[in-house]
Structure 1
């Protein structure tokens, strides 16, 4: 059968009428939400079959790309060991195995903080395998770890496993001395469970029916979960709850937060059944986070907050009187967005953004001075991975750029010296000098300058010399920044002459808090028009042309993809929408759906506010599919068990697009969640599928380096 003869699945039209604020809307495809219905499953299966048939001609290219990814990856490898207590902890990957293996080895010299140089092909003296993901995943199509923690004395391990993709984890506890699990089994937990400092208890959270983490529990190791003690519950549906211990082990911190408001509670670690006490009572619109330190013999809290400080400031207060005098440590500075502070015994790490790039600095307790750690690339991503130890002489940093593979440094604080521990090997003769990266700026219709990050292979010419295939990525929500990091898979595009670009549109966090504020709620359209303006800029400047331009985004970035497809379909040859939030209005109108009420702070409340309703209806992709236009080719990828963006959204969107003659494909993973398939080989094949489709759309499928 030829691809021209293939006919796409046609979803039945089963209209329902939805009425809000006097506006009646007919929805023909809402019936697809019935996940367990045989007709729905049959339709999704038919969509998968159609997509596979329509892309069958790309199978050889998919296989080549998969082999390129595999061939550039050192499959049997070791992570850089991290120190905790008497052990070095690290992970192994083994050729042919999907999942990592978590291990540890004893520390030979307690005074030596230099991690041992381990060879993946050699035995490690005293190595102990803590958890082999391949063993745990055996018999399951999906496997994900949501919690993994070791007790301070190194004798116990907890781990939480999800085998469906719905991000609900079964928690177990292992005796590392005996090498066997305790009888404790706790079902339905959220991610991030931790041991108490004495290792006798586990603190974990559970979710409500809307998938909102709302309750913190205390479990005593060796007892029935039915007797677990409820430490805290948050009844307000707008707030998530999380819990963890300070690095000092002094306090359990219970954090409560919405998109715009937060509150934190302290519980003394030696009396976990005590009533949690609020640090600063919540005030609408005020966000803060804290870390504990000891300065001058006094217990203090370093608090990062935005009370009268748009881009946040850092203050220090007495732990015994957090509502008392505030000592300003790092004052508010417009355009320098303070992100995090993490305290150690002798100093703290601060993380912030300036000029669109991530920064890391060391805070001196005595002087309040911050010493920034410098890097010499124009574009890069950097972050502190931290240490479980209270008094380390070094901090662990992760660094990468578009052209520099993921790199691990230890930073010697006293000597102000970066110590290279490892750089991700890229096999096959990768040479960073063969690739170029730079930041350019596009101008939005309202005059705002939008940063755009570019990477390309130099042998194909400098961007702008002649129009080239271009892959444009965007997100633009939740103040989340898309970093210019390294990707092995992306090399398969660059080597075929494709330019890769990130449009750092408003709604993200790249340029500070105001950048986020200007792309949310009733300013959300800026996110979409910024992306369109970036695409036009890249065309106008000769980087590419519409028939060679593919856009991509996932989740809220999938909403962006759906919106720009409606706004400027003529600008793009293709669009990849991953787990796309394309039926936004329907979702945000229904408070019974997971996360809806929490999302009102990000998008607005269309259920109760007619202005928000009208605004969201004006841009929601499913609501605004247009007649009489030629849409770009569209690939929508989703997962049946996604609890964040339901599969039904792209399923409905594709059905509606087909009504207007669009060439739209739906690929639904039937055993996966929001992050897609599990297992590294499965993930590589999934990405190879998408990259082959992109190359086919831009006419570069047969090009090589």
Structure 2
């Protein structure tokens, strides 16, 4: 079929979908003006009333929006089913992870045919030993619309396991203890804990956990519990008084220490340590919090390795003696790896005879292995133009085998074992992709785009061989660009459904992440946040100018803070995009950051700024997608959210859509889909989540004229 006719049919289809007389009109949210006054200024919010999930009128409105979305998207349901079946068909349902050894046991995660959730098992001493069931999440999820096992921790004697569960998707987990020998679940039930943040003492009966504030959802208290006692008498061992800090807790790899970590979102770090053999002792500060000083530590033998940004923007590696009476004296630390302007020291792992560093250079991940005896070092070599490689699960200090993960835009997630002495590299598993996938059918590229201020932005691109690069192809452009989080150019089996239908996929590694080093993050936050949006728009223009994208077939996708990105770029340059998917978007920046009762707000001041200060208020207001909605033609827009979202509250996208309905011009569709049973991550389970992906993909495929079954 002629491509112009195909595109016309797609456009007419969506126009008809939105305007057919048999379909309901879009819901209209009532205007209920509310004055919001702060030290930074005063605003009127007409839709603040949507901030109440217990209000029947709110639920009715969200339900009406869902019904409208379902009606408008009805013509694409067959395509959604095809996509869902296709994506599900690529998953090897009977599957298992590569085992790893921790102590006397090998641990593994299994999936069974038709199972939504993982099954955790172990084998003692040998992979040929009988399999012991730890947790069958399919059984645990029965009776729940949502289920997530938030992690487990096995005691030193290998007999007990702490675990925690969330059945609401509010990220308030309930902690339990299971006897792995008998299968008994102990009677203690501890609600409202942080997922995975627990640690056993060496006595196999005492453990520590982090309690969360049920309103702000911040972990702020560490308790000590003794198995067999009433949790009501648990001892509070530490409380974080500053609500701008996030808190975590874990047992260090050496097993000697339990660590409490307080982190002020990219600004300040503080560790407290306690010897696990002395659970009733006092946690001692490794190095006291100091604004601007971030660090993390690893312990082995008589040494602490310290990754620190002290006088080192891209971080350097130092070492300190295992003596908590002296670690607070930073002048006693010794430099191991200096700061480098062109290399970002991202993370590390320690072994008895080796040190492994995760680094980044020119936007790509590097793995560096240092022999502690000979001091010789080497970088592992990878050949794909765009890829991700990262240190894997290595609980054994005394091994010479490094487990690491690798993926590229054409290579599925792969697990490797690397012998750090012989240099032998063994592929342990490449994640199977069923349905006839052949990686040689796809091509990946990497480019640098010069942004408006002269900065070069990396872009990772993938497409199926034979896809035209002559300005006629649809392109989906993705980015995140916040919190220093890197958007890695890894593999997605779901994405094949777009690539096989002629889409080109591009990741814009925009400022706000740390792909190009710490300065890349610093230049995309606070009063430099607009660099993030400008980078994305400039990459979009480059994709069109260089004939990757047809001028009328460029699509954009982003979620959470990436949803803020979507809102900002369509306010700035709506004409560039044929369609946009904004998933759980953070779009009401000023109102949210003014309300310290909303989960996670206070910890975000160092990312976005505190709007109670006028300088930040004015800057945030100038880009906040909700506040900057104007009378203009916006792209076709699909917005998704979850009623129980704990990170971006559902009312942000709901208010944004309500305001867009009254302001936008033209006939492009505007749709809001609220998952009434899920939170920030959407539906739980490995298959249910695909239904939302299928809906988003079908939306874009129809608009691109690629919706043929």
1:269 to 254, 268, 276: 276
Q: What residue is the counterpart of 1:683 in the other structure?
A: 689
The answer for the alignment partner of 1:111 in structure 2 is none
Asked if the contact 2:346–2:359 (Cα under 8 Å) also holds between the matched residues in 1, the reply is yes
Q: Cα RMSD between the aligned structures?
A: 1.5
Q: 1:644 to 1:2 in 2, by over 3 A?
A: closer
Unaligned runs of 5+ in 1: 109-115, 117-123
Where do residues 315-334 of structure 1 align in structure 2 (5 Å cutoff)? 315-320=318-323, 321-322=326-327, 323=329, 324-334=331-341
1:311 and 1:336 in contact (8 A); partners too: yes
Q: What are the superposed Cα offsets for residues 361-398 of structure 1, whole Å, 9 maximum, x if unpaired?
A: 22333455542222121111111122222312312111
**Are the equivalent residues in 1 in contact too, given 2:556–2:579 (CA < 8 A)?**
yes
Question: 2 CA distance for matches of 1:669 and 1:434?
Answer: 36
- Aligned match for 1:83, one of 81, 98, 101: 101
Question: Residue in 1 aligned with 2:360?
Answer: 353
Match of 1:596 among 596, 601, 612: 601
Alpha-carbon distance between aligned partners in 2 of 1:367 and 1:13, rounded to the nearest angstrom: 71
Which residue of the partner structure matches residue 112 of structure 1?
A: none
Q: Which moved more, 1:663-672 or 1:492-501?
A: 663-672
Q: How does 1:282-681 map to 2 (within 5 A)?
A: 282-294=289-301, 299-320=302-323, 321-322=326-327, 323=329, 324-366=331-373, 369-461=376-468, 464-607=469-612, 609-627=613-631, 629-661=632-664, 663-681=669-687
Q: Is the 8 A contact 1:509 1:515 kept in 2?
A: yes
Residue aligned with 2:237, SS = strand
Residue in structure 1 matching 2:178, options 165, 174, 178: 174
Of 469-478 and 584-593, more deviation after overlay is shown by 584-593
Distance 1:301 1:422 in 2: 33
1:478 and 1:674 map into 2 onto residues whose CA distance is 17
Deviation at 1:195, TM superposition (A): 2.4
CA positional deviation for 1:140: 0.2
* Cα distance, 1:3 vs structure 2: 4.5
Q: Is the alpha carbon distance of 1:546 and 1:224 closer, same or farther for their aligned partners in structure 2, counting shifts above 3 Å?
A: farther
TM-score by length of 1: 0.94
Q: In 2, distance between residues paired with 1:243 and 1:286? A: 20
Structure-1 residue corresponding to 2:148: 144
Deviates more, 1:487-496 or 1:365-374: 365-374
What is the CA–CA distance in structure 2 between the aligned matches of 1:576 and 1:2, rounded to whole Å? 18
SS in structure 2 of the partner of residue 345 of structure 1 = coil
The number of residues matched between the two structures is: 681
**What's the offset of the Cα at 1:265?**
1.3
Q: Tell whether the 8 Å contact from 2:95 to 2:110 is kept in structure 1 after alignment.
A: yes
| Match among 698, 703, 708 for residue 692 of structure 1 | 698
Q: Distance in 2 between matches of 1:521 and 1:59?
A: 42
| Alpha-carbon offset, residue 146 of structure 1 | 1.2
What is the DSSP-based 3-state SS (H/G/I as helix, E as strand, rest coil) of the residue aligned with 1:181? coil
- Contact kept, 8 Å, 1:546 with 1:570, in 2: the verdict is no
CA contact (8 A) 2:558 2:582 kept: yes
SS in 2 for 1:302: strand
Residue aligning to 1:47? 65
CA distance in 1: counterparts of 2:376 and 2:633, whole angstroms: 57
Alpha-carbon distance, 1:345 to partner: 2.4
Q: Distance in 1 between matches of 2:66 and 2:205?
A: 48
Cα deviation, residue 588, structure 1: 0.7
The CA distance in 2 between the partners of 1:223 and 1:133, in whole Å, is: 27
Partner residue, 1:11: 29
SS in 1 for 2:552: helix
Q: What is the distance in 2 between the residues matched to 1:314 and 1:327? A: 9
CA distance in 1, matches of 2:148, 2:71: 30
Q: CA deviation at 1:471?
A: 0.3
Q: In structure 2, what is the equivalent of residue 231 of structure 1?
A: 237
* Separation (CA, whole Å) in 1 of partners of 2:221 and 2:417: 37
Select 2:217's aligned residue among 208, 211, 227. 211
> What secondary structure, in the 3-state scheme, does the structure 1 residue paired with 2:687 have?
helix
Q: Which runs of 5+ in 2 are unaligned?
A: 1-15
SS at match of 2:185: strand
2:206 corresponds to 1:201: yes
Q: 2:77 aligns with which of 59, 66, 69?
A: 59
Rounded Cα–Cα distance in structure 1 between residues aligned with 2:511 and 2:415: 30
User: In the aligned structure 2, how far is the partner of 1:700 from the partner of 1:474?
Assistant: 23
Match of 1:242 in 2: 248
Aligned-partner Cα distance in 2 for 1:690–1:529: 25
Counterpart-to-counterpart distance in 1, 2:66 and 2:121: 39
**C-alpha distance in 2, partners of 1:368/1:529?**
44
Contact 1:472/1:500, CA 8 A, preserved across alignment? yes
| Corresponding residue for residue 4 of structure 2 | none
- The answer on whether the counterparts of 2:40 and 2:617 sit within 8 Å (CA) in structure 1 is no
User: Following the alignment from structure 1 to structure 2, what is the Cα–Cα distance between the partners of residues 197 and 549?
Assistant: 57
Instruction: Write the distance in 2 (CA, Å) between the matches of 1:105 and 1:161.
Output: 24
Give the alignment's TM-score, normalised by structure 2.
0.94
